[in-house]
Structure 1
Amino acid sequence: MNDWTAPSRIALDGSSLTLRDIVRLARPEEARPPVAAVLDPAAARAAEASVGLRDRLMAERRPIYGVTTGFGDSVTNQISPERAAQLQHNLIRYHLNGVGPNAPADVVRATLLIRANCLALGNSGIRPLVVDRLLAHLNADILPLVPERGSLGASGDLVPLCYVAATLLGDGDAQVGKHVLPVAEAQREAGIEPVALEAKEGLALINGTSFTTAFAVLAAHDAAGIATAAEIVTAFVSEALLGNASHFAEFLHRAKPHPGQVASAAQLRRLLAGSRLSTTYEEIIAEAGSLEGRDFRELEVRIQDHYSVRCAPQVIGVLRDTLSWVEPWLTTEVNASTDNPLFSVDEERPHHGGNFYAGHVGQAMDSLKTATANIADLLDRQLALIIDPKFSGGLPANLVPPELSAEAGLHHGFKGMQIAASAVTAEALKTALPATVFSRSTEAHNQDKVSMATTAARDARTVNELTGQVAAIALLAAAQALDLRGLDRAAPRTRAVHALIRAHAPYADRDRRMDQDIAAVARLISDGSLARAAGTADEREPHAAAS
């Protein structure tokens, strides 16, 4: 189903939210029609039932973590039910200590949506009223200013989610459109009443993985776009190098049938169909002729391309196959109760546990960013081939146009672009270092094993951004190479992508600044325009298992 036929309202029931829905709500500029989220009536009834159980258990004056006890290592401090609401307000206040830049708007929107959906399962002892207010802020696009740093990924995203909870109370500042306003003022203008929290409700709002998972869902979506872009770059480079398209033959990849590899090779065959620049093994052999009785000769043309071209499906396929299990894991996470304690209405008892531990999200993001960083390295190596005359098969050094021969020695073409791509690639590879192995013991050794998933997810976002920049530089260079080779001989799909690139970045007929070209082409990758031009837009959609 595409965005044009998607529903404009999503009813949250805690169990059926899709990754596609999250992206559509988080990035409303990409959604047609605009989307709003509401609480499903059945979910509201389930939440009311858990609140009833919460209140009955409190009336028995039994210790319930975070309801009638302190938090973390202070669990041994039991308080009376009459003081439970004040405890929740204090919980919010003492976690308002985030640092670093504020999370972007799409991450905050996704956070509000995922948190509301987790609470919609009805296990958290929180009133439907509070969930409705969370969604009211989302639908009015009143977005808390949430610092990115401060979460260990267990016990949930305490620090960043406190900024969300404080917004419901009417505290702090919020982004509303292009303006930052006091939350209370934004609420008055939108007709939204602030919330007075009851027992457990502050903990229900902050003791979960929603901030981490928001980064993760968007990172997975964007990584799918990176995979598609990498195939487009590879097709460009293969043509620029007069490469051997037989490397992508169906027989070869069915002989090692990892699904992502098979899909990537198939995509390259589609992209290169009709090319008069790329060649085949049979054409190379025919041109080379026979040995004619000689014992040795040196072939003028390689029968195998360098690994960065020949093995591209094996590299890109790893990212595609990583997404095939990352997306189901994330779908499970966004449709789960991730706070503590949880209330079982059927059993009439609370359950104390650790669903706030974001281990699956952290592992997914560490794996995803490794696969994506490998794409940056792949494209950096492809770029090096087309600008170096030792490997480019007759292209001018650094892709300096031959028409500048009268100014020989004055122009350096894509030399600086390759330097920039190498630097960005190195940063992507460095950022791919796994975060989840850096668990810390905090809070008097109560939180003595934490997931670090928030850092992993933020890193995955950064690696996507860096890899997109490398892909943009490689595309600009490859587009220049096709101009030099003869664009009329390129495959129809690569010509279509070339036309899109040229609409935003002109042919480099002499040395000039190219930073704005990089930014423009990176946007074409991130917003899906590149995939649409190549006729591969469907590849950006989440896998069937995740949607």
Structure 2
Amino acid sequence: MISFDPQGLALADLLAIARHDTPAQFSAQARQRIDEGHRLLLKRAAEGTPIYGVTTGLGAAVDTPVAPLQATIPLGRAVGVGRLANRQELRAITAARLAGLAQGRSGISPAAAEALLALLNSGAEPEVPLLGSLGESDLAPLAHLSLALTVPLTGKDGLALVSANAASVGLGALLVAEAQQVLQAVLAALALSCEGYRANLSPFQPWASRLRPAPGQTEQSAALLHLLEGGDLAYSPRRLQDPLSFRCATVVQGAAQQALQQLHELIELELRSGADNPALISEESLVLATANFDSTHLALAAEGLGLALIRVAACSAERIAKLLSPASSDLPRFLITQPGHVGMAALQRTSAALVAEIGHLANPLPAVSVPVADRVEDYAGQALAVVDKTRRLTERVVWLASIELIVAAQAVDLRGVSRLGQGTRRVHDAVRSQVAHLDQDRSGSVDVLALSAFITDGSLTPFL
């Protein structure tokens, strides 16, 4: 049982809720905070204090004295289109919103908060379209989610349920986990490619990163050498200097790890924050208008991750090309010995197509968006759109890493490496558990998809 608490929710706990259906509850402190915030809301409203969305209209109608029916707030904002959130995504979004409510700053009624918690634990899967948020609160997806609640909405309940970036945060948490997995797979592919290519390991030695400690380089180089440890590659490189897709790989992947770490830290910041507008601060008896719904920091971090991953992908695709070329690898052309067979040549086309798509998805969203709400909302962070495209980008990097692993394993077989590193031997075994050695043409798609599923379900990790 995982507790939503004012101390915040760890990203690992959100993933357990989303991916493994781990049940959750509010801690006693969270329940107390929620109750205190709601009581302050009722007190201030009764005193005649203007409170956005409670005694005034919303958006452009902020200057209109009116008491909105809270049930109509989600109903009127359930305008999403596009694909529906799947089960993991729904649970991640819901858990992210519950983590925010546990801060006790939203003014939501205990009944409405408990109803959202019960929805999560019930396993219900309401239809939530994911297109429609501008990242200044994920109003549309959270409105669709809120329509599944059956309790009456009073006070500030309707606004508290939809005025948050829980979709961006929840899906951002899934993105962090997916990117961690893909960078792990790319590191494994790099190690196996080094074995198959008989690469020179000089750029990965500790002194190289001591001389210029680029972010993440030391850690990635150490991880690579750990996988290669126990093999004979260190004593038998073919060249003094290899192509940059090999030599610069741990610098590039270190930069990607740094970009991922930044996003990870920001997601965890959101999971321990109360970003409501207005915020109810019971210890100060204060109702505070905020701009904490803005998602620019999340959008920029996710964009940065995408830009880093296209560089990782470009290096991976080039390593594939080098392994397939006899002029570069000194191996049979396209890694096939049977005359008249295409071997792995066609997989290079797929890798090239993937790099093109990854590059397209890495292009940042425009910073300027169409103003809405009578131009009151004249800026948009767009975090949800950026997170969504970066997740699609990451999926394509998984497919590309699978291709590199397949090609590298074939190169190792044809090279006849006498002694692989202890880690690379395990990686090779993992690949061969899903994809057989290629001695005559067969459908490469089946192999790529099988290995990709093996990576995404976490089965590769125990081999590393």
> SS of the counterpart of 2:24?
strand
1:410-440 per-residue CA deviation (whole Å, 9 max, x = no partner) reads: 2111111000011011101110111262433
Q: Write the distance in 1 (CA, Å) between the matches of 2:398 and 2:157.
A: 40
- After TM superposition, the structure 1 = structure 2 runs for residues 530-541 of structure 1, keeping only pairs within 5 Å, are 530-534=460-464
The 1:317–1:198 alpha-carbon spacing in structure 2 relative to 1, beyond 3 Å, is same
> SS of the counterpart of 2:321?
helix
1:203-256 per-residue CA deviation (whole Å, 9 max, x = no partner) reads: 101110110111111111211122211111111111111111222111111222
> 1:151: which partner in 2?
133
The 1:436–1:22 alpha-carbon spacing in structure 2 relative to 1, beyond 3 Å, is farther
- Alignment pair present for 1:39 and 2:37: no
Residues 361 and 453 of structure 1 are in contact (CA less than 8 Å); yes or no, is this contact kept in structure 2?
Answer: yes
Q: Write the distance in 2 (CA, Å) between the matches of 1:54 and 1:16.
A: 22
- Alignment pair present for 1:160 and 2:141: yes
> 2:344: which partner in 1?
414
> 2:271: which partner in 1?
334
Q: Write the distance in 2 (CA, Å) between the matches of 1:348 and 1:248.
A: 57
Give the residue type in structure 2 aligned to 1:165.
Answer: S
> SS of the counterpart of 1:264?
helix
> 1:205: which partner in 2?
161
From 203, 216, 227, give the equivalent of 1:260: 216
From 204, 209, 216, give the equivalent of 1:248: 204
- Alignment pair present for 1:196 and 2:152: yes
Residues 8 and 273 of structure 2 are in contact (CA less than 8 Å); yes or no, is this contact kept in structure 1?
Answer: no
> SS of the counterpart of 2:284?
coil
Q: Write the distance in 2 (CA, Å) between the matches of 1:493 and 1:351.
A: 55
> 1:20: which partner in 2?
12
- Alignment pair present for 1:117 and 2:99: yes
- Alignment pair present for 1:396 and 2:332: yes
Q: Write the distance in 1 (CA, Å) between the matches of 2:368 and 2:443.
A: 41
Q: Write the distance in 1 (CA, Å) between the matches of 2:437 and 2:186.
A: 21
1:324-372 per-residue CA deviation (whole Å, 9 max, x = no partner) reads: 3222211111111122111122332311121111112111111111112
> 1:363: which partner in 2?
300
From 216, 230, 234, give the equivalent of 1:274: 230
Q: Write the distance in 2 (CA, Å) between the matches of 1:373 and 1:78.
A: 50
Residues 100 and 148 of structure 1 are in contact (CA less than 8 Å); yes or no, is this contact kept in structure 2?
Answer: yes
Give the residue type in structure 2 aligned to 1:396.
Answer: P
> SS of the counterpart of 1:144?
coil
From 72, 85, 109, give the equivalent of 1:90: 72
> SS of the counterpart of 1:88?
coil
Residues 36 and 282 of structure 2 are in contact (CA less than 8 Å); yes or no, is this contact kept in structure 1?
Answer: yes
RMSD of aligned alpha carbons: 1.5
> 2:66: which partner in 1?
79
- After TM superposition, the structure 1 = structure 2 runs for residues 203-352 of structure 1, keeping only pairs within 5 Å, are 203-276=159-232, 278-280=233-235, 301-352=238-289
Question: Structure 1 residue runs of 4+, over 6 Å off?
Answer: none
> 1:354: which partner in 2?
291
Residues 152 and 452 of structure 1 are in contact (CA less than 8 Å); yes or no, is this contact kept in structure 2?
Answer: yes
Please report the TM-score for the alignment, with normalisation by the length of structure 2: 0.97
Q: Write the distance in 1 (CA, Å) between the matches of 2:287 and 2:366.
A: 30
1:89-119 per-residue CA deviation (whole Å, 9 max, x = no partner) reads: 1111111111111122212111111101101
1:457-497 per-residue CA deviation (whole Å, 9 max, x = no partner) reads: 11111111010010001111111111111254322221212
- After TM superposition, the structure 1 = structure 2 runs for residues 482-521 of structure 1, keeping only pairs within 5 Å, are 482-521=412-451
> SS of the counterpart of 1:434?
coil
> SS of the counterpart of 1:360?
helix
Q: Whose radius of gyration is greater, 1 or 2?
A: 1
Residues 116 and 134 of structure 1 are in contact (CA less than 8 Å); yes or no, is this contact kept in structure 2?
Answer: yes
Q: Write the distance in 1 (CA, Å) between the matches of 2:417 and 2:121.
A: 47
> 2:53: which partner in 1?
66
The 1:487–1:109 alpha-carbon spacing in structure 2 relative to 1, beyond 3 Å, is farther
Note the C-alpha offset of 1:323.
2.4
Q: Write the distance in 1 (CA, Å) between the matches of 2:316 and 2:160.
A: 44
> SS of the counterpart of 1:100?
strand
> SS of the counterpart of 1:395?
coil
Residues 226 and 372 of structure 1 are in contact (CA less than 8 Å); yes or no, is this contact kept in structure 2?
Answer: no
- After TM superposition, the structure 1 = structure 2 runs for residues 462-473 of structure 1, keeping only pairs within 5 Å, are 462-473=392-403
Residues 23 and 121 of structure 2 are in contact (CA less than 8 Å); yes or no, is this contact kept in structure 1?
Answer: yes
Give the residue type in structure 2 aligned to 1:70.
Answer: G
Please report the TM-score for the alignment, with normalisation by the length of structure 1: 0.82
Residues 8 and 271 of structure 2 are in contact (CA less than 8 Å); yes or no, is this contact kept in structure 1?
Answer: no
The 1:500–1:302 alpha-carbon spacing in structure 2 relative to 1, beyond 3 Å, is closer
The 1:436–1:143 alpha-carbon spacing in structure 2 relative to 1, beyond 3 Å, is farther
Q: Write the distance in 2 (CA, Å) between the matches of 1:350 and 1:121.
A: 15
1:254-310 per-residue CA deviation (whole Å, 9 max, x = no partner) reads: 22223411000001111111223x244xx56xxxxxxxxxxxxxxxx5300110001
Residues 39 and 131 of structure 1 are in contact (CA less than 8 Å); yes or no, is this contact kept in structure 2?
Answer: no
> SS of the counterpart of 2:203?
helix
| Structure 2: 5+ residue stretches without partners | none
Give the residue type in structure 2 aligned to 1:514.
Answer: G
1:471-524 per-residue CA deviation (whole Å, 9 max, x = no partner) reads: 001111111111111254322221212122112111111111121211111122
Identity %: 32
